[in-house]
């Protein structure tokens, strides 16, 4: 049992990163030297995906170009003897992986984006990855961790994480019945509740393994929170028919849909980067020492 198809909803406008995202895709923002979408794609491939389905929109052509062959660039690198860089470019997509692009003409929400993937997914279980949520899995990538759960239980699995109470209104929030450590069956799921109404502080993060039943349910789902067709609402119906598991992944998630999360991810990945780690650490230490040696500003009245 392997999930062969991965869906990447990438049609969002990325307004939080304007003006950087005015003419280009937010998923192409780099974490050190790789765009966010490349991390998401690598995660899917390492969990066994062979078919990548991108749900795109306007200003997203750079995503297609990124995963396409770049003849002129490759010829140029070859002729200049830049073998290492040539490999870096050629390794973006391993052989045997197919990319499918579907245009989401209207921004009707995550649920609608997933529904757009139906013709390409067909009648098999599939995964959904939100590239904004960059996850550094502890021992293995988040989707590969979820795939193990899927193999054991054969049902839908959704990645979750505990978040502070005051942040619950930014997420889908689940209430679960424990199954095993870090694993629970979803009893209730609510999209972006107010802290007072939230059933828990266990939040859905951007990784889902779903059965194709979700498509039929999405078809019937009307506008929910923010007037959008919410994936969460369709999952809420699905739990009445099928088991859906909430899995607390092991690792660290960076919310790269926010500027602060994006900056944190860049710092952490730079500190792990083979060419940059030492010099960047040195720079950060100098900067912190300089900061600490400055007299503290008097507290403002």
Residues that bind ligand G1P (CB under 6 A): 110, 130, 133, 171-172, 191, 203-206, 230-232, 257
CB of 191 to ligand G1P, least distance (A): 5
CB of 228 to ligand G1P, least distance (A): 8
Closest-by-Cβ residue to ligand G1P is 172
Which residue number, 211 or 232, has a Cβ lying nearer to ligand G1P? 232
Which residue number, 77 or 221, has a Cβ lying nearer to ligand G1P? 221
Which residue number, 137 or 172, has a Cβ lying nearer to ligand G1P? 172
Which residue number, 159 or 270, has a Cβ lying nearer to ligand G1P? 159
CB of 8 to ligand G1P, least distance (A): 13
Which residue number, 35 or 206, has a Cβ lying nearer to ligand G1P? 206
Q: What secondary structure does DSSP assign to the chain, as a single string? A: ----EEEEE-----GGGTTTTSSS-GGG-EETTEEHHHHHHHHHHHTT--EEEEEE-TT-HHHHHHTS--HHHHHHHHHTT-HHHHHHHHTTS-TT-EEEEEE--S---HHHHHHHTHHHH-SS-EEEE-TTEEEEESSS-HHHHHHHHHHHH-SEEEEEEE--GGGGGGSEEEEEEEEETTEEEEEEEEES--GGG-S-SEEEEEEEEE-THHHHHHHT----GGGS--HHHHHHHHTTTS-EEEEE-SEEEEETTSHHHHHHHHHHHHTT-TTTHHHHHHHHHHHHHHHHHSPPPPPP-
CB of 287 to ligand G1P, least distance (A): 31
CB of 134 to ligand G1P, least distance (A): 11
């Amino acid at each position: 049992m392997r999930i062969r198809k991965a869906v990447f909803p990438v049609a969002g406008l990325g307004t939080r990163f304007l003006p950087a995202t005015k003419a280009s895709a937010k998923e192409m923002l780099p974490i050190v030297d790789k765009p966010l979408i490349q991390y998401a794609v690598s995660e899917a491939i390492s969990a066994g995906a062979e078919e990548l389905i991108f749900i795109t929109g306007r200003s997203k052509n750079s995503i297609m170009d990124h995963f396409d062959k770049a003849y002129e660039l490759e010829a140029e690198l070859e002729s200049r003897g830049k073998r290492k860089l040539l490999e870096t470019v050629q390794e973006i997509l391993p052989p045997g992986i197919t990319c499918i692009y579907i245009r989401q003409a209207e921004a009707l929400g995550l649920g609608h984006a997933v529904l757009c993937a139906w013709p390409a997914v067909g009648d098999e279980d599939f995964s959904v990855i939100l590239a904004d949520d960059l996850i550094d899995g502890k021992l293995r990538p988040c989707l590969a961790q979820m795939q193990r759960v899927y193999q054991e239980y054969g049902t839908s699995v959704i990645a979750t994480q505990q978040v502070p109470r005051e942040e619950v209104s930014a997420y889908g929030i689940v209430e679960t019945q424990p199954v095993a450590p870090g694993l629970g069956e979803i009893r209730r799921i609510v999209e972006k509740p107010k802290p007072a109404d939230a059933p828990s502080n266990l939040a859905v993060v951007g990784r889902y393994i779903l059965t194709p039943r979700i498509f039929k349910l999405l078809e019937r789902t009307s506008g929910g929170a923010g007037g959008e067709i919410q994936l969460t609402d369709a999952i809420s119906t699905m739990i009445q028919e099928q088991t859906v598991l909430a899995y607390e992944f092991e690792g660290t998630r960076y919310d790269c849909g926010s500027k602060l999360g994006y900056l944190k991810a860049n710092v952490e990945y730079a500190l792990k980067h083979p060419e940059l780690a030492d010099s960047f650490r040195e720079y950060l230490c100098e900067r912190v020492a300089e900061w600490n040696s400055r007299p503290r500003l008097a507290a403002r009245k």
